[in-house]
């Protein structure tokens, strides 16, 4: 995000650790600062780009550091019901409006060195307004995400969490499960693998602490999708145990038909 915003006038990046601030500045990000008061001074948009569990404390600190009461607050968290609920008490006192954002961008890599200037190009950004921000603010934030390349769409927080459980959180679990099955106890065979194993398990290299929080926060929706996935695995298992070639072919053909709709 920091590289996508670097050309925007007034954009500032707050980083908690001094050594990361220096790394950012040495990389040409002159707006990086470890001073929260400096970062929020006169801000009209605050983007919380931290784990969901850390958002309330950071927002509280930002308010105490002088965040203007009319500054719009958004986030980039992977779940949405939790931020709308956990940030509510702080926002009620501060008066700041809040709209949820979830740009579906990034990779298994994290940290400043993984930043890319084209990160948001053509990425979907799922937006939620359960906190009741005005239409003017909704349009303003939508225009912001579009200005850095995103495609925007609106959902309720509950709808958002149900959708990402299926299209993001479940794939991470299945990637991790495949890594455990294919590589556990057989690491010496890893160099023999082709692109299939690497493609299928790529996201399993994501930050375990972050993903454990995401999956736990969205556990109700994730459990439903995981059970559905286990049902599909049981179907192919049963066909193989029977030696049923046609059933296996139909199972794979159904998966191919759905996968081929992705562009």
| Tens-place pLDDT, residues 9-45 | 678 999 988 998 898 888 778 889 999 999 999 999 9
Q: From CA 170, how far away is CA 204, in angstroms rounded?
A: 11
State whether residue 161 is helix, strand or coil: helix
pLDDT at 117: 72
pLDDT at 31: 85
- Average pLDDT value over all residues in the chain: 91
Residue 185 has pLDDT above 70, yes or no: no
Written out in words, the top-level CATH class of the domain with range 2-155 is alpha beta
Query: Which contiguous run of DSSP H or E holds residue 145?
Result: helix 135-147
Q: Stretch 47-53: mean pLDDT, rounded?
A: 94
Question: What is the DSSP secondary structure assignment for residue 143, as one 8-state letter?
Answer: H
Q: Stretch 56-68: mean pLDDT, rounded?
A: 97
* Residue 226 CA: distances (Å) to CA of 82, 157, 175, 239: 20, 20, 12, 20
Full-model pTM: 0.89
Cβ(205)–Cβ(111) below 8 Å: no
Q: How confident is the model at residue 113 (pLDDT cuts 50, 70, 90)?
A: low
What residues does each domain of the chain span? 2-155, 161-259
CATH number of 161-259: 1.10.3660.10
Residue 97 has pLDDT above 70, yes or no: yes
């Amino acid at each position: 995000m920091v590289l996508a915003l670097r050309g925007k006038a007034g954009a500032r990046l707050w980083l908690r650790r001094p050594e990361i601030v220096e790394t950012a500045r040495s990389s040409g990000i002159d707006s990086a600062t470890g001073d929260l008061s400096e970062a929020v001074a006169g801000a009209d948009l605050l983007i919380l780009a931290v784990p969901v569990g850390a958002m309330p404390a950071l927002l509280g600190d930002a308010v105490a550091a002088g965040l203007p009461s009319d500054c719009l607050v958004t986030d980039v968290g992977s779940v949405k019901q939790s931020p709308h609920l956990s940030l509510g008490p702080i926002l009620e006192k501060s008066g700041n409006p809040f709209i949820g954002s979830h740009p579906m961008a990034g990779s298994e890599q994290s940290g400043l060195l993984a930043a890319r200037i084209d990160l948001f190009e053509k990425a979907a950004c799922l937006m939620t307004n359960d906190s009741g921000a005005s239409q003017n603010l909704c349009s303003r934030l939508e225009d912001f995400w579009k200005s850095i390349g995103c495609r925007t769409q609106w959902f309720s927080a509950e709808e958002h969490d149900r959708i990402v459980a299926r299209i993001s959180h479940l794939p991470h679990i299945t990637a991790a499960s495949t890594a455990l099955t294919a590589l556990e106890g057989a690491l010496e065979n890893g160099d023999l693998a082709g692109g299939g194993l690497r493609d299928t398990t790529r996201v399993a290299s994501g930050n375990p602490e972050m993903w454990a929080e995401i999956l736990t926060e969205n556990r109700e929706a994730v459990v439903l999708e995981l059970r559905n996935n286990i049902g599909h695995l049981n179907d192919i298992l049963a066909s193989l145990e029977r030696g049923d070639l046609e059933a296996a072919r139909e199972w794979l053909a159904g998966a191919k038909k759905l996968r081929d709709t992705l562009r």
